[in-house]
Amino acid sequence: ATMPPLLSAIANAGRHGVLVKSAVAMERLGQIDTVAYDKTGTLTEGTPRVVAVTPETGFDERELLTLAAAVEHRSEHPIARSVAEAARERDLKLPEAYDFTSTPGRGVAATVDGRKVEVGAPARLLPDATEQGTAPEADGTTTVLVLVDGAPAGRLALADRPRPDAAAAVADLARLTGTPPVLLTGDGPGAAANVAAAVGIEDVRAGLLPHEKAAAVSELAQSGRAVLVIGDGVNDAPALAAAHTGVAMGRAGSDLALETADAVVVRDELAAVPRAVWISRRARRLVA
């Protein structure tokens, strides 16, 4: 017997690097008319590097990085991995961290040497400090703030590169949908603008919490759009769930994102997504 078109399409998408979870998902993928992208780990490689360590008075670089890494080595976030890596490169000995907590879109916290250490988005940790919290990073880096017992101990600057195939994939999907793409990120406006310019996205929404990403998707849906969300993090799960179709980046994607999504990019190429959309459209023409 010949395979039904949607099953052939699933097999074909799999060969092109996208694991589509069901025939329904395969069909819906071809219906999308708008694409909303996460930034870190989706448009970027997701392996940022710590490029500057800036302590406040009373702390030195090594102490600042030690405290931050002691907390971050418990987290799976791309920022956390890079902070832990920076500490490893400097041979820092990390003290034990207790009572670890992680808040998607905000950051992490733990008790280290009897002090409460928080690491995360400046605008979330110090929402009232207008000057400190909202100044966009002019150089396009991501700034992470470290608080010790509630007071700023310093900042880390991280740089993450766009994926080599991101601009081409964004352009292909824009052509397939005929609609301008949207960037939804929890990161600050400076880092967001930098990546958006590099990949060709004009509609940029920065500083979003996970439920705000989902709300942005629901708003687009209410205006009649069938939204494809592409993301990788725990913070993207609500948006992936709110999407017409959710696609998760598989290699470094969080378990929650992989479970919530309708399809998973297993080859770690963003360019696999437009191929899968095209395969779905062709299959739907055969079904109809």
Among the listed residues 16, 73, 106, 225, the single contact to ligand ADP using CB under 6 A: 106
* Residue 14 vs 133, nearer CB to ligand ADP: 133
Residue 32 and residue 225: Cα distance in Å, rounded?
A: 8
Interface residue with ligand ADP, options 16, 77, 163, 244 (CB under 6 A): 77
Interface size with Mg ion, residues (CB under 5 A): 5
Interacting span for ligand ADP (CB under 6 A) from 15-23, 36-44, 109-117, 128-136: 36-44
CA-closest candidate to residue 68, choices 47, 53, 58: 53
| Site for Mg ion contains 160 (CB under 5 A) | no
Least distance to ligand ADP, CB of residue 243, Å: 15
CB of 42 to ligand ADP, least distance (A): 7
| The only residue of 55, 181, 233, 246 in contact with Mg ion, by rule CB under 5 A | 233
x/- site string to ligand ADP, residues 115 to 154, per CB under 6 A? ----xxx--------------------x-x----------
Q: Torsion angle of alpha carbons 151, 155, 216, 228, nearest 10°?
A: -140
What residues pair up with 205 in beta bridges, in sequence order?
184
Q: Which C-beta is closer to ligand ADP: that of 32 or that of 108?
A: 108
CB of 80 to ligand ADP, least distance (A): 4
Which of 186, 189, 238, 274 binds ligand ADP (CB under 6 A)? It is: 186
- The interface mask with ligand ADP, positions 206-225, x = CB under 6 A, is --------------------
| 185 is a site residue for ligand ADP (CB under 6 A) | yes
The secondary structure of the chain as a DSSP string is -PPPHHHHHHHHHHHTTEEE--HHHHHHHTT--EEEE-STTTTB-S--EEEEEEEPTT--HHHHHHHHHHHHTT--SHHHHHHHHHHHHTTPPPPPEEEEEEETTTEEEEEETTEEEEEE-HHHHSTT-HHHHH---TTSPEEEEEEETTEEEEEEEEE-PBPTTHHHHHHHHHHHH-S--EEE-SS-HHHHHHHHHHHT--EEE-S--HHHHHHHHHHHHHTT--EEEEE-SGGGHHHHHHSSEEEEE-SS--HHHHHHSSEEE-SS-TTHHHHHHHHHHHHHHHH-
Q: Please say if 38 is a catalytic residue.
A: yes
Q: Which residue, 236 or 262, is less far from ligand ADP as judged by CB?
A: 236
Q: Which is nearer to Mg ion, 233 or 238 (CB)?
A: 233
> Using CB under 5 A, which residues numbered 30 to 49 contact Mg ion?
38, 40-41
Any idea which residues carry the catalytic annotation? 38
Give me the residues that bind ligand ADP (CB under 6 A), please: 38-41, 72, 75, 77, 79-80, 105-108, 119-121, 142, 144, 185-187, 233, 235
